[in-house]
Amino acid sequence: MRKPRADSRLKNLPAELRAEIAAHAQAHRLEETRAWLLAEKGIRTSTGALSEFLSWQRLQETLRANEQTVAALMDWYRERHPDTGAEELAALGQAFFSALALRLQDPKVWTAVQHLGLKRRQLELDREKLDLLRKKAEQAERTEAVLADAALSPEERQQRIREIYGRA
């Protein structure tokens, strides 16, 4: 999830106070919670901002709880399948969060999970691209060395260059 905006007064409060506000709001209406915030905590906010904060806070709590569940699930899976790779475990975690978001019918969680999956895939693609660029640079260096080798005949140069690029 993204970091809260700097001007988001409620989202930038200490975690304990955010949890206290959320707990108070569960037992009281929004307007009552808003009045309580002003009277007890000296925090002035609008009903709309409070409502948006409470939605965000619940999502944060859900994600933290689910993160612990996924960690336990992945540990359990790793114990039973020790040969499982990191990529497979990441896919398992992603599938769990996606299924949970769909079951809860929570578009924010689902969107967050999808964004994380896309970022992970982009990192994989960037890693593959870097590996390919390294391979091409190494092939170019080897090609230059073959071309600079005066002891080779044109046919030998051509054959070695084919070997470098896997066309032998």
Average pLDDT over residues 95-101: 74
Q: Is the dihedral of CA 122, 124, 125, 129 positive or negative?
A: positive
The confidence score (pLDDT) of residue 4 equals 58
Contacts of 60 (CB under 8 A, 6+ apart): 1
pLDDT for the residue numbered 64: 79
Q: What is the model's pTM?
A: 0.45
Q: By C-alpha distance, which of 99, 105, 9, 76 is closest to 49?
A: 9
Backbone angles phi, psi at 5, to 5 degrees: -60, 150
Residue scoring higher pLDDT (132 or 12)? 132
Instruction: For residues 10 and 69, give the distance between their C-alpha atoms in angstroms, rounded to a whole number.
Output: 27
**What is the C-alpha separation between 79 and 101, in angstroms, rounded?**
26
Kindly state the helix (H) or strand (E) to which residue 76 belongs, with its residue range. Answer: helix 47-80
Per-residue confidence at 84, pLDDT binned at 50, 70, 90? Answer: confident
The answer to whether 109 and 62 are in contact (CB under 8 A) is yes
Q: What is the pLDDT of residue 149?
A: 93
Query: Across residues 63-73, what is the average pLDDT?
Result: 77
- What is the average pLDDT value for the chain, to the nearest integer? 85
Q: What is the per-residue pLDDT across 141-163, written as a single tens digit (0 to 9) for each?
A: 999 999 999 999 999 999 999 99
What would the two tokens of residue 157 be? 């140069």
**Which is nearest to 25 in space by CA: 14, 36, 13, 16?**
36
Summarised one tens digit per residue, pLDDT across range 99-128 is 777 777 767 777 777 787 788 789 889 999
